[in-house]
Structure 1
Amino acid sequence: MIPLRDNVPRVTTPYAVVALIAVNALVFLYTGSLGPSGAAQVYHLFGVVPARFFQPSWAIWAGYPDTMGWPLVTYMFLHGGWLHLILNMWMLWIFGDNIEDVTGHGWFVLFYVLCGLAAVALHMFFEQASPMPVVGASGAVAGVMGAYIVLYPHGRVLTLIPIIFIPLMIQVPASLFLGLWFVFQVASGVFAKVQASSGVAWWAHVGGFMAGIVLIKWFRRPGSCRYCYNPDTRDYDPEESEFRV
């Protein structure tokens, strides 16, 4: 399922979301300009290599410099390819604006980074000996999605389901779309662990999503949640709201 847009109205201009997308795109372009070997070096220096933190003697032997933990933040601004970047930024664009409405611009960035930290922490817990660098905004974006399912479970997502050569577009409840997404991440993480091989940091997605669910309670500004779900007043009916671009 590929999300195309949601139907929760945007209240303010999502400056933080736009800035994050721009930074990720610029970093990707710069990394790509370094060539394959240069990009690989950037991934190892500024991505998160779990063994670098859990096996310091190996890290010294491998030649990793002391970066004082900065890769735990910088990893979420690196991407391994165009598709990786586009998918992450597209999900951020669809779900992030409504979360920024609630948190405010500056606090949204902090929320985003904290979700990214929680994401990589869970990945490192399961992959302590891994020498492979983890890069990408997936964990941080998953945190945004976790916050969305808390605040806007009543929203609807216009979703593209490619069936052979016939593109099927349907409206899916946000709670169903994000719930299925989360279940898929957990199942994929378990399967990858059993098979002892994976090129995707599934547990980072799980960690970020759960962090978003928990953290949004403290980042939600009073009186800012105009279209959030309210079981008492039901002041927003997704069935009557047109899909927005």
Structure 2
Amino acid sequence: MFIPLNDRNDLDHIDRQYVTLTLIAINVIVWVLTALSGADGELTTAAVLGLGFIPAVAFGPAELAPGLTLVPETATYITYSFLHANFMHLAGNMVFLWVFGDNIEDALGHFRFLIFYLACAAAGALAHGLFNAGSEAPLIGASGAVAGIVAAYLILHPRVRIWVLVMWRIPLPLPAFVPLLIWVGYQFVMVFADSDGAVSWAAHVGGIVAGAILVVLLKRRDVPLFDRQIVSPRAVVRHKSPVPKVERRWGR
């Protein structure tokens, strides 16, 4: 649908988005480590099965072989979100996290943002499991957590103008609520329109619902909801040079 490129939404409460940067770094490192063994490598297979969220295992009907169990079943509600199928899967999630994550971290604070992120990831896994209770396919990817961030940004900064790449080729500066509302609505539609597809739309919806609720509960007291301030992306701000005054003399 679209790719976020940039927003001009300055940080008011924190100096730097340390948690956002750390989450991006962890996701990249995990992907590099698993990618080095190849798509069918032992490390990749062990990570996906041992750290991915498998509804049939989490809800009881199935069990992993002892050698494949890397963490307790409850931990996979979070660990799955640090695994990605390929570079494009990783890049898509990390771009959204990079553009929108810093402002949510600013609104919540470092520690509460970390709790927010992990809770949205867990909510995404839970929603996926409820829609696919008997599935033995591992769920991986940060989409649930990122969907929560998108929902939080929409609630906090709907009128901030962001640069988005529409249809992979058309850059446009738009108020945040335009692309984000379309994106959120699309996830809800696709839960029923593409229930058997490779994308877990249910995980996205779970993250969206959790993000919309948690941002209200965890935000700083002085951070307003539905901020009405309109801020344009830096790329479209123009500064006019002052016109020097010319002193006119009589007779000229």
TM-score by length of 1: 0.86
Corresponding residue number in structure 2 for 1:14: 17
Instruction: Quote the offset at 1:67 in angstroms.
Output: 2.0
User: How far apart, CA to CA, are the structure 2 residues paired with 1:43 and 1:127?
Assistant: 18
**Equivalent residue for 2:231, pick from 230, 238, 241:** 238
| 1:120-139 equivalent positions in 2, closer than 5 A | 120-139=125-144
Count of aligned pairs between the two proteins: 230
Cα shift at 1:128: 0.3
What RMSD over aligned residues (CA atoms) do the two structures have, in Å?
A: 2.1
The 1:60–1:26 alpha-carbon spacing in structure 2 relative to 1, beyond 3 Å, is closer
After superposition, the C-alpha distances for 1:153-186 in whole angstroms (9 at most, x for unaligned) are 11122111247xxx32212221111110011112
The yes-or-no answer on 1:216 pairing with 2:215 is: yes
8 A Cα contact 1:8 1:155, kept in partner: yes
Q: Deviations over 1:54-93 (max 9, x none)?
A: 244x325797647241111110111111001111011000
CA contact (8 A) 2:52 2:83 kept: yes
Shift of residue 143, structure 1, vs aligned partner: 0.6
1:1-245 to 2 correspondence within 5 Å? Answer: 1-11=2-12, 12-35=15-38, 36-38=40-42, 39-56=44-61, 58-59=62-63, 65=69, 67-162=72-167, 167-193=169-195, 197-223=196-222, 225=223, 229-230=226-227, 234=228, 236-238=229-231, 242-243=234-235
**1:29 counterpart letter in structure 2:** V
Write the letter of the residue equivalent to 1:173: P
> Following the alignment from structure 1 to structure 2, what is the Cα–Cα distance between the partners of residues 63 and 211?
33
Q: Which amino acid is the alignment partner of residue 41 of structure 2?
A: S
Segments of 5+ residues of structure 1 without an aligned counterpart are: none
For the residues of structure 1 that align with 2:122 and 2:114, how far apart are their CA atoms?
12
Checking the alignment, whether the CA contact within 8 Å between 1:157 and 1:177 is kept in structure 2 is no
SS in 2 for 1:16: helix
CA distance in 2, matches of 1:184, 1:229: 21
Question: Does structure 1 retain, via aligned residues, the 8 Å contact 2:7–2:234?
Answer: no
Distance 2:158 2:226 in 1: 7
Specify the SS of the correspondent of 2:234: coil
Q: Which amino acid aligns with 1:141?
A: V
Contact 1:55 1:129 in 2 (8 A): no
Quote the offset at 1:229 in angstroms.
3.7
List runs of 5+ in structure 2 lacking aligned partners: 237-252
Task: Report % sequence identity.
Answer: 34
Corresponding residue SS for 2:212? helix
Q: Which one has the largest radius of gyration?
A: 2
